[in-house]
Structure 1
Amino acid sequence: MTATTNVLIALKNILDRNSCRLTPIFRSNGLANTAGDSLEYFIKDMFCTGGILHSVEEDKNKIYDQYLSWKGNSSNFPDFIVKQGVGVEPKKMNGKGTGSLSLNSSFPKAYIYPDTQNLPPKELINEREWDKKSIIYAVGNLDRNNDKLLRLWLAYGNTFIAEERVYSGLKSKIKDTIENLTNAEFVPSVEFGRIKKVDPLGNTNLRLRGMWELAHPEAVFQKFLKMRDIPQGATKINLIISEADYRLIEKKPDLSLYIESGKLIKHKVLIPNPNYSLDNISVYLFETYTD
């Protein structure tokens, strides 16, 4: 039987663990990973039940192989992909700030497609054919003094990110404008583009690189939050998922114990549609905390 997972299972695993303290991950050579790596492993562990029991990378990977079709690397987006499920991209921030998330040369994504820029090669994603996957941004604010998360958001991209055409359309307009401003040769590239032969002798090229930023989910959804008072030193956890995506999750874990105790709040709200600001979409917002 194939192991299955989803964001609700990840949320339950976080609640069951009752801690968002990041622990060192060791490779076979005995070296520990960085704090950023530790956040990525923590999120993987919460999606891949049992992963948290291991501290050695090789042992964790054996668990991840059961749940993930792509375990990630430093070059491709997203960080990992659940088998027949979502893509997940952890983003680490230091301290309590809710400033913009740096995405560098890759624009934000509500979904990924087989031809999405910077996606790993098709043959490296170990699952059957697929057309579209939702993306979850796992945004963790880290207290570097004790390697503990101050805040964690699990936010579906389609709740606050527009369709790909919005971003790709802007890139096309910028390219067209540049080409109309100069007689130099414009060459598209993975980053954004290059303008070759800028000077009369053609000795100079200009490299263009986009630097995209995305609003922190806390800044976007703050006005919809209900849980204000949590124990001092606790980690606030939020999950936002569209009602449509929630209905598609077949295996929903039992969260009633946490809801009845008041530690977990689940409520349905209407938020602005990322593609049409005059429309709304229905979402579920989960609010909880860990010690």
Structure 2
Amino acid sequence: MINILDAIYNIAQREELEIKDITFGNNRANNMGEGLEAFIKDSFANMFDEPDKNLRNIKYKQVFSFQGSKRNPPDLMLKSGPAIEVKKIESLTTELQLNSSHPKQVLKSDSSFITKKCVECEEWTEKEFIYVIGHIPKNTNRLSSLWFVYGDIYAASEETYISLKNDIATTIDEIPDIEFSETNEIGRVNKVDPLGITNLRIRGMWLLQPPFKVFDYIHNYEPGKRFQCFALIPLTKYNNFPESSINRLAETEGVTISDVNVNDPDNPVALIECKLIEFKVEPAA
């Protein structure tokens, strides 16, 4: 089964780290986000240099069970493996825009945010969740850094976010003389005007601090490098990867693997043992 170590290894073999600007649509920022998703898709499938679209589609079908859309997470799901959410940022310190979908430790098949096709694409009830954040500086198509972070060391338990949403919805519902209805978002207020023809959607915009800031106490980001890749993997997951994947990546030039401890998102005084994988490329001579 393809795993995150294989994807990092495939990226480490690349000399070309530009992100293709997907041509459909008029919004370049969104198109570069689509291009980053395609790059990540190819990194897991190892299809960077395959020009035959038919062969690419066959390999994608072998590796992935689902590919999402802009409106519904996740962006990708590995067969019998984690769900993957890809985010593009133009600055290392830019917050990740998760929109109405709160941060996730794992992806559950009973989530109201995912589609029926996602639920039925394979037999599953819960999947590990990996955030992949690509830093593409503004007005460039150059991938400057890439961050892989597992959700269970990045996000708090689902109850943290659901309880806040419910508290806000309850407070709104207690406002006198309004007609409130529950939705997948925070809620909806109906008939807010005398004619009863105007409704108000109340949606959340979840923002998540980028890993550059969240994990600044363990990574060694070097601004002068041409490209840098960081991956934070809980030790319990790392130890379950095939030995062949571990050894191949460890022997790759430019890759370092170290032991680190990160704060537990649900209890910051507790620590979670992790492996930090770093891959760095020197600037062109």
TM-score normalised by length of structure 2: 0.88
Residue 255 of structure 1: aligned partner: 249
State the distance in 2 between where 1:38 and 1:56 align. 18
Distance in 1, matches of 2:187 and 2:146, equals: 35
What TM-score does the superposition give when structure 1 sets the normalisation length? Answer: 0.86
Distance 1:235 1:170, change over 3 A: same
Alpha carbons of structure 1 residues 66 and 108: separation in structure 2 relative to 1, 3 Å: same
Query: Are the aligned partners of 2:76 and 2:83 in contact in 1 as well (CA < 8 Å)?
Result: yes
Task: Select 1:190's aligned residue among 176, 184, 188.
Answer: 184
- Partner of residue 56 from structure 2, selected from 32, 57, 60: 60
Distance 1:197 1:25 in 2: 42
Q: Distance in 2 between matches of 1:222 and 1:290?
A: 20
Q: Which amino acid aligns with 1:192?
A: I
* Corresponding letter in the other structure for 1:69: S
Partner Cα distance (2:110, 2:41) in 1: 24
Deviations along 1:113-160, one digit per CA (max 9) or x if unpaired, are 101132121466432x22211111110111355411111101111111
Aligned to 2:27: none
* Structure 1 stretches lacking a partner, 5+ long: 28-32
Q: Which runs of 5+ in 2 are unaligned?
A: 25-29
What secondary structure, in the 3-state scheme, does the structure 1 residue paired with 2:59 have? helix
Q: Give runs of aligned pairs for residues 1-291 of structure 1, distance below 5 A.
A: 4-24=1-21, 34-49=31-46, 51-54=47-50, 60-94=56-90, 96-122=91-117, 125-127=120-122, 129-199=123-193, 202-226=196-220, 229=222, 232-250=224-242, 252-253=244-245, 254-258=248-252, 261=253, 263-290=254-281
Seen in structure 2, the aligned counterparts of structure 1 residues 100 and 24 have a Cα distance that, compared at 3 Å, is: closer
Sequence identity percentage = 33
Contact kept? 2:132, 2:149, Cα under 8 Å: yes
1:278 counterpart letter in structure 2: V
Distance 2:270 2:53 in 1: 45
C-alpha distance in 1, partners of 2:243/2:82? 14
SS of 1:43 mapped into structure 2: helix
Tell me which amino acid in the other structure corresponds to 2:121: N
The answer as to whether partners of 2:250 and 2:257 remain within 8 angstroms in 1 is no
On the 8 A contact 1:104/1:211 being kept in 2, the answer is yes
How far did residue 246 of structure 1 move? 1.4
Write out per-residue CA displacement over residues 186-240 of structure 1, whole angstroms, 9 at most, x where no aligned residue: 11122321011334553432210101100101101111024x558x451111000
Q: For residue 60 of structure 1, report the CA deviation from its aligned partner.
A: 3.1
**Structure 1 segments (4+ residues) deviating >4 Å:** 24-27, 55-59, 122-125
**Distance change in 2, residues 1:145/1:198 (3 Å):** closer
8 Å Cα contact 1:25-1:55 kept in structure 2: no
The question of whether the paired residues in 2 share the 8 Å contact of 1:137 and 1:155 is answered with: yes
User: Does the 8 Å CA contact 1:141/1:150 hold for their aligned counterparts?
Assistant: yes
Note if contact 2:104-2:155 (Cα within 8 Å) is conserved in structure 1: yes
Q: What CA distance in whole angstroms lies between the structure 1 residues aligned with 2:158 and 2:231?
A: 23
